Amino acid sequence: MLRPLGKRVIIKRLEAEEKTASGIVLPSQAKEKPQMAEVIAVSNEVEDIKVGDKVVFKKYVGTDIKVEGDEVTICEIADILAIVE
């Protein structure tokens, strides 16, 4: 597994059906094109977000990488806008 460093988390984009279940619609034509994802790893320096959290983040941020078949994104917590509760 990967452990992010600094103020970073690793997230995995949600599938369409998971997004629908959340009741949240992310407008595709929006300026910042937000996306939904699940947090799969957090750095020691991150306090407000934990593994398993579903989050909304800005689309064009972070570094994409493939870990054991899963496409994930390493991104700064400043780019995570909100947690779905």
Report the candidate in 18, 5, 1, 4 with the shortest Cα–Cα distance to residue 56.
Answer: 18
Q: Is 68 in the site for a second copy (CB under 8 A)?
A: yes
Q: Is 51 in the site for a second copy (CB under 8 A)?
A: no
Residue 6's SS3 state is coil
Q: Is 13 in the site for a second copy (CB under 8 A)?
A: no
Task: Kindly tell me which residue out of 17, 28, 44, 52 binds a second copy, with binding defined by CB under 8 A.
Answer: 44
Task: Kindly tell me which residue out of 16, 17, 25, 28 binds a second copy, with binding defined by CB under 8 A.
Answer: 25
CA angle in degrees (0–180, nearest 5) for 46-12-22: 95
